[in-house]
Amino acid sequence: MKDRLRVGLAGFGLLGLLACNPGARPRPAASTPQPAPATSPEDQVHQAPRSADEHAALLARAGELARALIIVDGHIDVPFRLEKTRAPGGAITEDVTRATEGGDFDLPRARAGGLNAPFMSIYVPSSYEERGGATEFADRLIDSVESIIARAPDALALARTPAEVREHFQAGKLSLALGMENGAPLAGDLAKLAHFHARGVRYITLTHSRDNHISDSSFDDARTHGGLSEFGRQVVAEMNRLGVIIDVSHVSDEAFWQVLELSRAPVLASHSSCRRFTPGWQRNMSDEMIRALAKAGGVIMINFGSSFISDEYRRRREAEQALLEAEGLDDDSAAGRARLEAWRAERPPVDFASVGQVADHVEHVIALVGVDHVGLGSDFDGLGDSLPTGLKDVSMYPNLLAELLARGHDDDELAKIAGENALRVWDAVLERAAG
């Protein structure tokens, strides 16, 4: 569905104290990183304390913070994951209110990691733009989120406002917010925007992997509209009016700049990272874009996927995808998986990204525009087996908090990164709508 293929605190293995993905193929132990040239993206890497006592203390403190702070995750693909388990009779066969063997999210792991407000992604594949049925598919995914809440109403609640997120936090409930990934379900009708707002959708990612009738995509070279379509411009205005957050992840650079020009409210990038570390890859955001986003009051929520974090990993994955396409194979098929395993066996392994590298992206945003404009948008359940070592599922947010603590960030800064920045943007969007 999305993308795939070092350890957190420098070279010691604090992250081994929390479980990692047991299904990942073995990797050689990472050596202690060496200082990189000042012109390299790696110049953001910091050395962290190395004693066992210091590591244990950091992790314990991070666990306390994870329980005390509101952690908002801008993008988790649970609904689409569940849709893929739907039985022939129509029932979803996986229950994420209980511990699950697969996937990156379930309620017990969310509680263990301190997660409070994940945006459940109402992800509609780009193919629905052409074949139709996008509106109905989105409604079905929203139904599935409502059914999750109905299974555990004492533990879960739909969140329609930041105030509700805070209310649920005080009550010990986990908030499920809704973010629609791909505007295809609007189907050219602004009334459908009001419909999805009424159902609880609080942000919309304008497009996904291909250009749609609203916006050009960062993944599509066609550049159908040169940014936003005329209808897309109307969508921006109507989202502002209704108080729906505009999500600029996945849009082309041209569309991004047009959104900033048109929007009266701050915008989010719900699950994007920094292009400085992945040069030339338009799915991530350039420094210029991040500065403009921040100037408009917005927030970039860092995607955890290794392809978003590590250019080495991204280039390896691109080579793998090119191989499969050339041979007419799919990486979800047995033949495709076998071909990749054989191809990988002939080459040096490429490690997953590390928690430290994810922290590098967070710190790069802070260095550019300050701590008020960065958050977390993991893309859990949407990345396959490509998540960083030590950030394999929703139980592991404390690993990232520990890494940031080791780099000298205080509790107030971590509160902003964990969730307060995203909630501030959400509040600002509602205030502009009310005004």
**What DSSP letter does each residue of 33-97 carry, written as one string?**
PPPPPTTSGGGG-------HHHHHHHHHHHHHHHHHS-EEEEEE-HHHHHHTTB-TTS-B---TT
Tell me what pLDDT residue 47 has. 43
What angle do the packed helices 311-326 and 334-345 form, to 10 degrees?
120
Structure tokens at 272: 């994007």
d(CA 141, CA 62): 33
What angle do the packed helices 230-242 and 190-198 form, to 10 degrees?
30
Question: CA dist 305 to 249, 296, 422, Å?
Answer: 14, 26, 20
Q: Which residue has the tokens 């569905």?
A: 1
pLDDT digits (tens, 9 = 90+) for 25-49: 222 233 322 333 333 444 555 445 5
For residue 340, give the DSSP letter. Answer: H
Q: Which residue has the tokens 């916006």?
A: 215
Q: Are 247 and 280 in contact (CB under 8 A)?
A: no
Question: Residue 217's beta-bridge partner residues?
Answer: 251
CATH class of segment(s) 47-310+356-434: alpha beta
Tell me what pLDDT residue 29 has. 30
For residue 168, give the DSSP letter. Answer: H
For residue 3, give the DSSP letter. Answer: -
Tell me what pLDDT residue 238 has. 99
Q: What are the φ/ψ torsions at residue 238 (nearest 5 degrees)?
A: -70, -35
The string over 25-63, giving b where at least 16 C-beta atoms fall within 10 Å of a residue's C-beta and e elsewhere, is eeeeeeeebeeeeeeebeebbeebbeeeeebeebbebbb
d(CA 140, CA 292): 36
Nearest to 317 by CA among 406, 232, 384: 384
Strand ranges for 234-338 from DSSP E: 245-247, 268-269, 299-302
Count the Cβ atoms, other than its own, within 10 Å of residue 239. 27
Q: Are 304 and 388 in contact (CB under 8 A)?
A: yes
Count the Cβ atoms, other than its own, within 10 Å of residue 332. 9
d(CA 249, CA 265): 16
Q: Could you tell me the residue ranges of all domains in the chain?
A: 47-310+356-434, 311-351
- CA-CA-CA-CA torsion sign (95, 395, 26, 362): positive
Strand ranges for 185-270 from DSSP E: 201-205, 245-247, 268-269
The model's pTM: 0.89
Structure tokens at 124: 């509609």
Task: Give the residue ranges of the chain where pLDDT is below 50.
Answer: 1-42, 46-47
